[in-house]
Amino acid sequence: MTKHILTVDQFDVGEVERLFQMSDEINQKIDQKREKELLRTLPGNILFSFFCEESTRTRFSFETAGMLLGMHVIGTENAKKFSSMVKGESLRHSIRTMCELRANAIVLRHSTEGSAKEAAEIADPYGVSILNAGDGKGEHPSQALLDIYTIRNSFDKLENLAVACGGDLANGRTVRSLVRMLSSYDDISFRFFSPRELQMKQDVLDHLEKHGKRWRVCKTMEEALKGADVIYWTRSQLERFTSWQKIGRYFRALFAGNGKYIIGKHEMETWVKPDAILMHPLPIKDEIEAGVDNDSRSKYFEQVKNGLLVRMALLKYCLQ
Ligand code: NCD
């Protein structure tokens, strides 16, 4: 059976922990010259990385993951411009082409929700794995896994945590995937803090209700941050807004005036617990001040580091 990574809903807690144990093992080897060689367990396998939307971390980290596993990696930096997409080719034909070229796995980022699932329907009969690297406003499962891996390593547990999510919760696929996936763990509660127009969408809230999770919408930064164990902040996803007028309105709602949604040194000192962690999927625009980067509670570059381990584990999970 061909394995794909399409949505966080496909994993149960046990499977996630097995992936994390694989990531731990990779972590022990990755910085040692001799041990690193032992990681090359997928030699000769071909990985296509097909990115139809901008990316720095996800693309580099999947491509590095493939290389460290000994795979051949072929990528387009901007498929929207440098592939036949520009000539109007359908996603289905692009995917089929990569399958015919003997791909073993395809990492796909696309602006349309559901595109990874559509690609998997094409690739499945070929035995080619699709890894969803972000499908529009939909999901970003590898990011949710690396985020949860970071939380697990920071607290040594994944239960009994208060999670505050802020920024653009309506359009941010990372935070949507994270909240969905965390709802499988016991005694996790959520606080959401965003402009009214950018609130967490109903499908995620329904998912929380279904899993009996507590959540509330906060009116102030103080209410969101005080007492939270995990703070997960996001940028406004301007590229998803449909008109410039809206962009202006939302942007002002997020950042103008008193900087209602910006976390700076003052917020860290006043409201964030000493043992809390501050996470962000990156890129950060204005929503976290640069002065916070070196606060020991800021984990966003640790998330990047963990992303490589988790994505190596995901490629192994799909292909071995
Ligand atoms: C995110 C994405 O593309 O969804 N970036 C990432 O993959 N780490 C978040 C974002 O762009 O805001």
What is the domain partition of the chain in residue ranges? 8-140+304-319, 143-300
3-state helix, strand, coil in the chain (%, to 5): 50, 15, 35
For the full predicted model, state whether its pTM sits above 0.85: yes
Report which of 107, 156, 133 is spatially closest to residue 281, judged by C-alpha positions. Answer: 133
Report which of 239, 173, 179, 169 is spatially closest to residue 208, judged by C-alpha positions. Answer: 179
Which atom of ligand 1 approaches the CA of 140 most closely? Answer: 4
Domain 8-140+304-319 has CATH 3.40.50.1370: yes
Q: Residue of the nearest CA to atom 11 in ligand 1?
A: 283
Instruction: Report how far ligand 1's centroid is from the alpha carbon of 54 (Å).
Output: 9
Tokens linked to 152: 């697990």
Tokens linked to 278: 């501050």
In tens digits, the chain (320 residues) has pLDDT values of 999 999 999 999 999 999 999 999 999 999 998 888 899 999 999 999 999 999 999 999 999 999 999 999 999 878 888 889 889 999 999 999 999 999 999 999 999 999 999 999 999 999 999 999 999 999 999 999 999 999 999 999 999 999 999 999 999 999 999 999 999 999 999 999 998 888 999 999 999 999 999 999 999 999 999 999 999 999 988 777 777 656 766 666 666 545 689 999 999 999 999 999 999 999 998 899 999 999 999 999 999 999 999 999 999 999 99
> Is 140 an annotated catalytic residue?
yes
Ligand 1 touching residue 4 (CB < 6 A): no
Ligand 1 touching residue 166 (CB < 6 A): no
8-140+304-319 and 143-300: identical CATH topology: yes
- Distance CA(17)–CA(130), nearest Å, equals 21
Instruction: Report how far ligand 1's centroid is from the alpha carbon of 134 (Å).
Output: 8
- Distance CA(75)–CA(48), nearest Å, equals 6
Q: Name the 3-class secondary structure at 57.
A: helix
Ligand 1 touching residue 141 (CB < 6 A): no
Report whether the peptide linkage leading into residue 274 is cis, meaning its omega lies within 30 degrees of zero. Answer: no
> Is 57 an annotated catalytic residue?
yes
Of the residues 56, 58, 237, 302, which should be mutated to test ligand 1's pocket, given the most ligand atoms within 8 Å of the CB?
58
Q: Is the CA virtual torsion 267, 269, 270, 271 positive or negative?
A: positive
Q: Residue of the nearest CA to atom 1 in ligand 1?
A: 281
Report which of 149, 152, 199, 150 is spatially closest to residue 176, judged by C-alpha positions. Answer: 199
Q: Which class is domain 143-300?
A: alpha beta
Helices and strands, counts by H and E, the chain: 13, 9
